[in-house]
Amino acid sequence: MSVVLRAYRSLAELAAPLVRWHLSRRATAGKEEAARIGERFGRAGLPRPAGSLVWLHAASVGEAVSILPLAARLTASHPQCHALVTTGTVTSAVLLAQQLPPRVMHQYAPVDLPAAADRFLDHWRPDLILWAESEFWPNLLGAIAHRGIPLALVNGRVSERAFRRWQHFKTSIRSMLGAFSLCLGQTPQDAARLQRLGAARAACVGNLKFSAAPLSADAETLESFRRALAMRPRWLAASTHAGEEAIVAEAHRRLQQRAADVVTFIAPRHPERGGEIAALLAGLGLKTARRSLGQALEADTQVYLADTIGELGLWYRLADVVFVGGSLAADGGHNPLEPARLGAAVLHGPGMASFAEIAAGMRAAGAGRTVADAGELADAVGGLLFEDAAGRRAMAAAAKAYAESQAGVLDRVIEALAPLTAALDKRSAA
């Protein structure tokens, strides 16, 4: 263990009271589930089932949705095997509660304290661990390595910024990556970076985000909104961050000059910001209805604030054009494949670092466009809604085709993991 990792472990042990205080504050603010706060300290909320167990860890919503098909395939292929999915956000927990396949459970991930890591592993005793993206927690990885549990990284991502940062801690990242038997990168570039950072085996077989199923929607609710909308033109700003709602509101005001009955849906990335956003929109003179308050979409509603969790599939199905947030006032963006696979024309800002390859691929395929500000956003939405219906349909079709272009990625991931998963049935029998 490097000097840095030893220091980190010592500081983590000293910081335990501060971590408890911090999580308590987050629970008060609704950012943690108070009733399940024990899970964050490794105290299980569910019994461990008999047989073999695969633990799949994802940081938040996007990663969790990406690995659910993998969890479902593993449990279907190994009848005596159960899967445990851990995440760290309330939003992901609510979403997963609606989508968990048979024999797949959810718990909150333990914080990276030595005692929490040991308590979690002692209870769940996983036979195989699959971590998604780039969640490198030193104490958890150290505890896993100490127990000799097979561990693989799936859909690994190492941004250029993260790669440069890890260059200053080469011994530490090499030590952590040494816990992984296999690292599967999202892209060849991710795999190459993982190898350069010290992964013993790194490869790319495709991006698991392409394997996710379309987000679901309640059929009755969808039909109710369609009746309320009738023939009104509409578009969606999805997963917006602070600062982007003002940009969307300005784009809406410009669109109203072309069609007074246009409806703008705003689905904030963090629904708890609903009150703040509603106040902003009211201050701009926009008639707004809020989903979280059960307010209906009326004939005079200009902006509908979709401030709930787990309903993005509904809003994507209602919108002809979708702007993907986190890409104008923030840098990173969110998953453009989600609206694409539901047949929407997709727009985003320039800050799509977290989905750079996907966004570039969609633009090259005529399936996505970049907008830089409120004016460009209004022009792009207006052109697609009011002037070029044929172009909008072609763009939506291209987006759907692109989202379905790597349908075999899950098979390739399963094949790459076969040496690690082969023993699951033997462990079940034992």
* Residues catalogued as catalytic: 63
Rg for the chain, CA atoms, rounded: 22
Q: Determine the longest span between alpha carbons in the chain, in angstroms.
A: 70
Contact 171, 4 (CB under 8 A): yes
Contact 5, 175 (CB under 8 A): yes
Task: Give the angle subtended at the CA of 273 by the CAs of 269 and 276, to the nearest 5°.
Answer: 135
Q: Is residue 249 within a helix (H) or strand (E), and if so which, with residue range?
A: helix 244-256
Bridge partner list, 56: 85, 130
The residue among 264, 257, 156, 145 whose CA lies nearest residue 201 is 156
At residue 111, φ and ψ (nearest 5 deg) are: -65, 160
Buried b (16+ CB within 10 A) or exposed e, 47-71: eeeebbbbbbbbbbbbbbbbbbbbb
Other CB atoms within a 10 A radius of the CB of residue 416 amount to 19
Q: What residues contact residue 80 under an 8 Å CB cut-off, 6+ apart?
A: 51, 52, 424, 425, 428, 429
Bridge partner list, 75: none
Buried b (16+ CB within 10 A) or exposed e, 163-198: beebeeeeebbebbbebbbbbbbbbebbbbbbbebb
Task: Give the angle subtended at the CA of 133 by the CAs of 132 and 134, to the nearest 5°.
Answer: 115
Task: Estimate the crossing angle of helix 114-124 against helix 138-147, to 10 degrees.
Answer: 40
Question: What's the gap between Cα 79 and its chain centre?
Answer: 28
At residue 38, φ and ψ (nearest 5 deg) are: -60, -30
Contact 310, 95 (CB under 8 A): yes
